[in-house]
């Protein structure tokens, strides 16, 4: 499986997608793509700049185009942006050639992880704690619909990566 399928990490901001994704890619000898970083690299703008100058709709179009491209790759660990789940076409594209895993954390853990970050434009619209809870609640059905769930609270990125690697190995035996 790891030679062919992608491993796509979903989850709310601050759940560890990028950090865990890099570890997974290294341990499994796979490529790694962080979707938000790739969009920033290609546009020459940060995600907050894209939101401010071009709007969220434009960002979601860039994100959709990147999903179509990445879903055609093999043996890649992909850290999907937190809102990728909002478009069912994104999930369908990734599911064709990927193991879809949702990283979960409580609102308190997420808030602790993102509290001092300024590159999260959707959290800049109000008090961060309420915004995290509100957005997480709205996205919960999308995240819950993903086939594999991994809890990240009170765990190191290496522990989380280890659980995912064990899952990959179990899937290879199926």
HEC assignment per residue over 68-125? HHHCCCCCEEEECCCCHHHCHHHHHHHHHCEEEEEEECCHHHHHHHHCCCCCCHHHCC
- pLDDT at residue 102 greater than cutoff 90: yes
Per-residue confidence (pLDDT) for residue 17, from 0 to 100: 95
Q: Residue 145 falls within a domain, yes or no?
A: yes
- pLDDT at residue 33 greater than cutoff 90: yes
Nearest residue to 83 via CA among 162, 28, 138, 164: 138
Report which of residues 122 and 114 the model is more confident about. 114
Strands 98-104 and 6-10: parallel
Per-residue confidence (pLDDT) for residue 160, from 0 to 100: 97
Structural domain range at position 103: 6-173
- pLDDT at residue 46 greater than cutoff 60: yes
Q: Residue 161 falls within a domain, yes or no?
A: yes
Q: What is the CATH number of the domain that holds 105?
A: 3.40.50.300
Q: Give CA–CA dist 62/2, Å, rounded.
A: 27
What CA–CA distances, in Å, run from 132 to 10, 47, 123? Answer: 16, 18, 7
Per-residue confidence (pLDDT) for residue 70, from 0 to 100: 97
Q: Give CA–CA dist 78/166, Å, rounded.
A: 18
Q: Residue 100 falls within a domain, yes or no?
A: yes
- pLDDT at residue 2 greater than cutoff 60: no
Q: Tally the domains of the chain.
A: 1
- pLDDT at residue 101 greater than cutoff 50: yes
The label of the residue with tokens 């950090």 reads: 19
What is the model's pTM? Answer: 0.90
Mean pLDDT on 127-143: 86
Mean pLDDT on 84-89: 94
What CA–CA distances, in Å, run from 63 to 54, 58, 141, 153? Answer: 13, 9, 20, 27
Q: Residue 124 falls within a domain, yes or no?
A: yes
Q: Residue 1 falls within a domain, yes or no?
A: no
Q: Give CA–CA dist 78/67, Å, rounded.
A: 10
Q: Residue 136 falls within a domain, yes or no?
A: yes
């Amino acid at each position: 499986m790891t030679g062919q399928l992608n491993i796509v990490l979903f989850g709310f901001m601050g759940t560890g997608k990028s950090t865990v994704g890099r570890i997974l890619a290294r341990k499994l000898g796979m490529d790694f793509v962080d979707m938000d970083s790739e969009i920033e690299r290609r546009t020459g703008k940060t995600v907050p700049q894209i939101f401010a100058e071009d709007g969220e709709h434009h960002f979601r179009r860039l994100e959709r185009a990147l999903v179509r491209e990445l879903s055609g790759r093999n043996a890649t660990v992909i850290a999907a942006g937190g809102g990728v789940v909002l478009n069912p076409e994104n999930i369908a594209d990734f599911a064709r050639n990927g193991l879809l895993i949702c990283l979960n954390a409580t609102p308190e853990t997420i808030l602790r992880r993102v509290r001092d970050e300024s590159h999260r434009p959707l959290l800049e619209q109000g008090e961060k704690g309420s915004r995290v809870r509100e957005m997480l609640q709205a996205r919960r059905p999308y995240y819950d619909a993903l086939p594999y769930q991994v809890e990240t609270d009170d765990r190191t990125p290496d522990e989380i990566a280890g659980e995912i690697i064990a899952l990959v190995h179990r899937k290879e035996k199926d």
